[in-house]
């Protein structure tokens, strides 16, 4: 099943992002074969990051939650809100 994940950062996020970027990318890299789409959500200025989104395949919401909970960004308190929703792709298909 596909899941849409919205990760909303805390306001003062730059320090955590910079410090843990490599560890976060290493963690996400372990799931790259399941991630269909992923990237940062930007603030209105188009420069600063405000969070991120993922669309990924997983067996359950519990599996997605475990992946998020193990992320260094989550452990450091970067994300003030995490929303996980089942997702049904209708347009354009994953290429």
Percent of the chain with pLDDT over 70: 98
Report the Cα–Cα distance between both ends of the chain, in Å, rounded: 16
Pairwise CA distance, residues 27 & 38, whole Å: 13
For 5-36, the three-class secondary structure string (H helix, E strand, C coil) is EEEEECCCCHHHHHHHHHHHHHHHHCCCCCEE
- CA within 13 Å, CB half, 9: 18
Q: Is the model's pLDDT at 60 over the cut of 90?
A: yes
Q: Is the model's pLDDT at 94 over the cut of 90?
A: no
What backbone torsions phi and psi does residue 54 show, to the nearest 5 degrees? Answer: -140, 140
Tokens of 84: 């996980």
What tens digit of pLDDT does each residue of 11-52 get? 999 999 999 999 999 999 999 999 999 999 999 999 999 999
């Amino acid at each position: 099943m596909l899941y849409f994940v919205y990760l909303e950062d805390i306001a003062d996020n730059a320090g955590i992002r910079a410090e843990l970027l490599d560890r976060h990318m290493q963690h996400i890299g372990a799931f790259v074969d399941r991630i269909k789409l992923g990237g940062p959500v930007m603030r209105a200025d188009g420069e600063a990051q405000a969070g991120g989104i993922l669309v990924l395949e997983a067996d359950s919401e519990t599996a997605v939650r475990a992946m998020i909970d193990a992320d260094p960004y989550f452990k450091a308190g970067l994300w003030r809100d995490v929303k996980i929703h089942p997702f049904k792709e209708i347009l354009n298909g994953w290429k």
